[in-house]
Amino acid sequence: MPRIVFLPHEELCPEGAAVQVEPGISICDAALKNGIEIEHACEKSCACTTCHVYVREGLDSLNEPSEAEEDLLDKAWGLEPDSRLSCQARVGEEDLVVEIPRYTINQVSEQH
């Protein structure tokens, strides 16, 4: 079973976390299932960027991003080559190392 290592995040998981997951689960669902309250303002429907993460290791083992995900990622804060929307990135057979960005763009919580 693959393992996801979530790097420390000041608010969501200050100590970091390492969790065993079933292949096919999204990174977002894996985080939420393990008490890491990653934002997902669109309820995981690929309509926002609040669940944006960096996949520091294991990126190539994930499913390919859809065109819709790639279009949304262009709007994400702090976009990097290893960026994915965690609600769309499905775990394969390899271990992952995931970093949750310090900031996110959430139109609702930021009252825009």
Reference 36, options 15, 22, 55, 54; nearest CA is 15
Q: What pLDDT shows up at residue 102?
A: 86
Q: Where are the beta strands (DSSP E) in 7-78?
A: 17-20, 52-57
Alpha-carbon torsion, ordered 108, 110, 52, 100, to 10 deg: -130
**In this structure, are strands 96-99 and 83-85 parallel, antiparallel, or unpaired?**
unpaired
Q: What is the pLDDT of residues 47-100, one digit of tens each?
A: 999 999 999 999 999 999 999 999 999 999 899 999 999 999 999 999 999 999
Structure tokens at 111: 């009252």
Q: Is the pLDDT of residue 107 over 70?
A: no
* Stated length of the chain: 112
Which element (helix H / strand E) includes 32?
helix 27-33
Reply yes or no on whether the pLDDT at 111 is more than 60.
Answer: no
The tokens of 77 are what? Answer: 């804060």
pTM of the model: 0.91
